[in-house]
């Protein structure tokens, strides 16, 4: 992801990221520091698997903290009330019909950070999400997905 590219989030999504960041900086940092200190107390750290594992976990934690800080710094809030429903944009709920199978699916277009397929929230950066952006009701689009190509007809756009 480009460092300068804004990240569009809902108020709820931004709050979730801030809460995760606060948790990682306080509770997780302290837990890992304790694990490192405990492993170090066991003697020679040159062949100490617990120490190596704790240091690796610390590196992953710091990388996640850095990514969250960057995302929050680039965050731009999107007001759901201002989303144009004539075309598919971020925060739009888009109902599509698979032209081949007739199956219908409704997706909410969100930022990559808020994407959750179990809630049918797909990223605007995903193949289907980016294919839907800017389209209108009645449009039929063909999208390349990992399983091949899928043809979708937009049935409804709402928020």
Q: 120 with 73, same domain?
A: no
Q: 90 with 71, same domain?
A: no
Average pLDDT over residues 128-141: 91
Q: How far apart are CA 36 and CA 54, in angstroms?
A: 6
Q: What is the DSSP track for 26-92?
A: IIIHHHHHHHHHHHHTTS-STT-HHHHHHHHHHHHHHHHHHHHHHHHHHEEE--GGG--SSB--TT-
pLDDT digits (tens, 9 = 90+) for 74-110: 888 877 676 666 888 888 899 999 998 999 999 999 8
pLDDT score of 20 = 95
What total number of domains does the chain contain?
Answer: 2
Tell me, yes or no, if the pTM score tops 0.95.
no
Residue 10 above 60 pLDDT?
yes
Greater model confidence, 121 or 78: 121
57: CATH: 1.10.287.180
115: CATH: 3.10.50.30
The verdict on residue 1 lying in a domain is no
Q: 67 with 103, same domain?
A: no
pLDDT digits (tens, 9 = 90+) for 24-55: 999 999 999 999 998 888 877 777 888 889 99
Q: 97 with 129, same domain?
A: yes
- Domain of 92 in residue numbering reads as 82-158
């Amino acid at each position: 992801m480009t460092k300068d590219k804004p990240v569009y989030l809902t108020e709820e999504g931004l709050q979730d990221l801030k809460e995760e960041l606060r948790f990682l900086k306080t509770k997780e940092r302290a837990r890992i520091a304790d694990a490192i200190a405990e492993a170090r107390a066991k003697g020679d750290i040159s062949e100490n698997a617990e120490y190596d594992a704790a240091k690796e976990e610390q590196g992953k934690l710091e990388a996640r903290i850095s990514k969250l800080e960057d995302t929050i710094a680039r965050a731009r809030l999107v007001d759901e009330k201002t989303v144009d429903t004539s075309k598919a944009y971020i925060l739009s709920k888009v109902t599509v019909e698979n032209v081949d199978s007739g199956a219908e699916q409704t997706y909410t277009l969100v930022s990559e950070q808020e994407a959750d397929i179990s809630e049918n929230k797909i990223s605007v950066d995903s193949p289907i999400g980016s294919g839907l952006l800017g389209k209108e009701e009645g449009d039929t689009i063909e999208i390349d997905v990992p399983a091949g190509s899928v043809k979708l007809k937009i049935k409804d756009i709402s928020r």
